[in-house]
Structure 1
Amino acid sequence: MSLFRNSSSYETRQASPVTAFIVFAIIVILSLYFGISGLIGGGKVSLDSAFESGMDKGSIVSGVPPYGAPQANLDYEHGINSITIGHEYYYMILSEDQQTILLVRADKHFGENFDSESYKNINGTSIKGKVRMTSNDVTAKFGELTQLDEPELKYIDTTYVSRSIKWFIIAAINILLIIFVALNYAIFGRNGRPSGLVGGIIGLLSVAGMLAAGYLLIYNILLN
């Protein structure tokens, strides 16, 4: 008899939403931190000055590159178990006298702004990005493919704003998930959930939100 009572109490035991609140809240806090810190720069520097005097990590560099690579010098692919998550595209840009090279991380279409023979900036495109350091893997890859054989490489990350936006999207999705869990608990109790068409739609949106947030989280971590 005691065995049946224990089984019954186990089946009717109500799950607490506290764990979900904590997990979602931690993700929100971390996402907001990385999103905000990613936008904050250590000062603004013109591209001409960066060519002449170098650039410091964290500074925001902007200007019009006179010359650049018409295609990515390095397409670094990130993935998990042969599943591609995202790409990092690195391009070399050159000063007016073509004596100084800087490294830029941009989207895959960035090279289309430069002539395939002269490397001139034919579209007059400008760049604005935050100075960062390449990862060890990217630095090693550049050592294999180019003459940029240095222990550390600085680059201008023109994707820093879009990367921060992704962090904010992750935070927003998890805030919505917190609200859903709270409303569900307040209306239906710990184990209750909406049923029927409404319940199916809410459940589908919740799963889609968690999958989207999970993908963006992995994407930002791998391509950080």
Structure 2
Amino acid sequence: MSLFRSSSSYENRQASPVTAAVAFGIIIIIALYFGISGLIGGGKVSLDSAFESGMDKGSIVSGVPPYGAPQANLDYEHGVDSIPIGHEYYYMILSEDQQTILLVRADKHFGENFDSESYKNINGTSIKGKVRMTSSDVTAKFSELTQLDEPELKYIDTTYVSRSIKWFIIAAINLLLIIVLIVNNAVFGRNGRPRGLVGAVTGLVSIAGMLAAGYLLIYNILLN
């Protein structure tokens, strides 16, 4: 009798799809929050104005930098337990009179727009980014490289749109996982699973989705 009761108790304790759906739902809410808030700026500022008067955190700066570094002044690599996750590339851009320097975070090819000797913007490339503050680790690295003695640095993040898109992708993947859970529960019951080719494809899609969402989540957190 006790064996039958234990078996029944085990079945009753099986994980409910509702629990998983709630967890995925929480991730969706968090991802949408960061995705939407990442796109919202505190006002638009021209790059010329930023060079002359500075820039406020959260504002959106756009314009054509006259001069810039032909390669990243700082390539900051992020990883987990020696496993590389992603890179941050920081470049210095200069005003027309070359007296004012601003910091830009961009992709690894951004420096190709500037001449290696004169530092002129040979491609006429423009930038648009959200003003943010560097992390303590990045500030410390710049202090080592450039002898800057500031508690934190402002920079123009030209990757802010792509970062928000990654948050939206995370939300979309988790929404897909919730749909798979609902359909599976409706068709096969609480603890049922599709078999054969359908089961294999569903399992692979679910695992791939969770791995992709997990990677993007770690990426966005580390490179925040």
Q: How high is the TM-score relative to the length of structure 2?
A: 0.97
Residue matched to 2:96:
96
1:12 is matched with which residue?
Answer: 11
How many angstroms does 1:195 deviate by? 0.5
Quick check: 1:69–1:119 contact (8 Å CA) kept in 2? yes
Within 1, Cα distance between the matches of 2:142 and 2:186? Answer: 55
Task: Give distance in 2, aligned partners of 1:139 and 1:223.
Answer: 14
Matching residue of 2:126: 126
Describe the SS at the equivalent of 2:191.
coil
- 2:163: which partner in 1? 163
User: Which residue of the partner structure matches residue 50 of structure 2?
Assistant: 50
Q: Displacement, 1:11?
A: 4.4
CA distance in 2, matches of 1:210, 1:197: 20
Instruction: Quote the sequence identity (%).
Output: 86
Quote the Cα distance in structure 1 between the aligned partners of 2:40 and 2:164. 10
List aligned pairs for 1:1-224, cutoff 5 A.
1-2=1-2, 4-13=3-12, 14-224=14-224
* CA distance in structure 2 between the partners assigned to 1:118 and 1:7 by the alignment: 78
AA at the equivalent of 1:111:
G
Structure 1 residue 42: Cα displacement: 0.3
Distance 1:7 1:89 in 2: 57
**TM-score, structure 1 normalization:** 0.97
> Unpaired segments of 5 or more residues in structure 2?
none
Cα distance in 2, alignment partners of residues 216 and 79 from structure 1: 13
* Matched residue SS, 1:202: helix
Task: Name the aligned partner's letter for residue 123 of structure 1.
Answer: N
Supply the RMSD in Å over aligned alpha carbons. Answer: 0.9
CA distance in 2, matches of 1:220, 1:12: 38
Letter in 1 for 2:167: W
Following the alignment from structure 2 to structure 1, what is the Cα–Cα distance between the partners of residues 26 and 10? 30
1:18 CA drift (Å): 1.7
SS of the equivalent of 1:87 reads strand
Deviation at 1:96, TM superposition (A): 0.3
Alignment check: 8 A CA contact 1:15 1:190 kept: no
Name whichever of 8-17 and 192-201 sits farther off: 8-17
The letter of the residue matching 2:205 is L
1:147 CA drift (Å): 3.4
Measure, in 2, the Cα distance between the counterparts of 1:95 and 1:222: 31
Please identify runs of 4+ aligned residues in structure 1 that moved more than 6 A: none
Matched to 1:205, the amino acid is: V
d(CA) in 2 for partners of 1:91 and 1:187? Answer: 54
Residues in 1 aligned to 2:36 and 2:75: alpha-carbon distance in whole angstroms = 27
CA-CA distance at 1:186 after TM superposition: 1.1
Structure 1 unpaired stretches of 5+: none
SS of 1:55's equivalent in the other structure is coil
Letter in structure 2 aligned against 1:140: A
What amino acid sits opposite 1:113 in the alignment?
Answer: N
Query: Matched residue of 1:12: which SS?
Result: helix
